[in-house]
A and B are shown apart, each in its own frame.
Chain A
Amino acid sequence: MIMDIKIAIRRLRVTFSKNEILKGVTVDVYKNTITGFMGPSGSGKSSLISIINRMIDFEDNVRIEGEVRIDGQSILDGGHDNVELRRRVGTVFAVPIPLPRSIYENIAYGPRLKGIGDRATLHYIVEDSLKKAFLWDEVKDRLGISALKLSGGQQQRLCLARTLALKPEIILLDEPCSGLDPISTAKIEDALSELKKDITIILVSNNTKQIARITDFAAFFYLGELIEYDATEKLFTTPSMKKTEDYIQGKFG
């Protein structure tokens, strides 16, 4: 099966002050798949995410070399509109902190920034996003309450929903379930499995079981280097590198 490449990363080297965080990484992320990035902390996987959504722009003293292309277009050259990029590339962070507003306003925030002011359209987007994030049934009667009153698991799904409201082509999830209970985790995983029909998903996680459960491709990073990248099934059954095997078996990390 030939698959389209959505994100092409070539020889990516990232340096913070004097620390080399990524040491020349090359990865292809395929369209409409879930790709898992795993590795112990300090492996550079979160930095890789922050390159793809260009959130790294808000850090000081960063040097980036190499190439990152989305749909063949470089996102690292200066002429790129990073605000526009972040609307195409949604991000869900590890700690699900919604904005201090109502549930409805949290989701309508992004579309409003894009200039969507029509009430009916906004209502539709809010409902649709919440449904896709498997949260609609739990909150449909209280969209006006503060989002901060929701449980942790609900807040994380709300963060997913507000990302979906932007109709992104790519969603990056940076350890989205690290603080969640198993039931909430399962709901997020279900949502992601549905969403990949339309969206390319990158899931960063320390949880190897989760990577094995829901991803199609998986990459293992260690100290800024890509150790192994393959179809998830292959990587978890017959890893070609000893380090990968040790990590998967929980011998370190």
Chain B
Amino acid sequence: MTAAAITPSRKGAGFWGAFARNKGAVIGLAFLTLIVLMAAFADVLYPDSPWDMTAMPFQPPLSDDALLGSDTLGRDIAAGIAHGARVSLLIGLTSTAVAVLIGVFLGAVSGFYGGRVDDLVMRFTELFQTIPNFVLAVVLVAIFTPSLTSIVLAIAIVSWPPLARLARGEFMSLRSREFVHAAVTTGQSNMTIIWRQILPNSLSPIIVSASLMVATAILLESSLSFLGLGDPNLMSWGYMVGAARTVIRQAWWMSFFPGIAILLTVLALNLVGEGLNDALNPKLARKGRS
């Protein structure tokens, strides 16, 4: 145990070894792979649009023409879940990517330069942190009318502050390390030091929190769609739950299956994130466990 923990930074077998030691993470990863495959092959599994009314409305699960039942207009729930996986993953990944870009850039600048710049950037970050995430996202989407782009941007805009603070901390601590001083002495430019020296060394915690952020983004998207603020032309899980909520007493399956899909995906992402944490930040992980 201790031997393994001492040499974690050696990548390759060490990384997978550490990851695989977390059973939950492996299950999560397996499940996530399934969901990604489902999203990738949605068009093969269900070639028709998920909006097509292919069955009789209100068919319970295990009916002939609808495995998981049909909704109030006769749309296949299973087709909706397969196509909805695309929307959820797409929005989760792109909005996290945008949030990472904004967060890491601001955090890096702030942590590297310190002083006035740091003050300025951090006050700006706090401005966003004081407004409740979801409320701000609702307002942004409502103002810019719901569409794929506006939803991705809204989620990114409310999710970057924690990343900025994380990156800032990493940059501050690495800034005073010897290898950075050495780089300064050899005359490397600030950009080179940030990009080539510090950033690669601060990636681990950023990757871990980004993986968890994908889960949060999927939840945010589902909540927005639930409230009717999703892209009206895209089938998403949150939309399915929201639309079925009104008939929950007559037809439980319409909201149950998409709800399960959201739950399992978010859970899988969290498990994978924890596994990554174990693998990439062994010291932190051990501290948390003992």
User: Does chain A bind chain B?
Assistant: no
What is A's interface to B at a CB cutoff of 8 Å? Answer: none
Residues of B within 8 A of A (CB): none
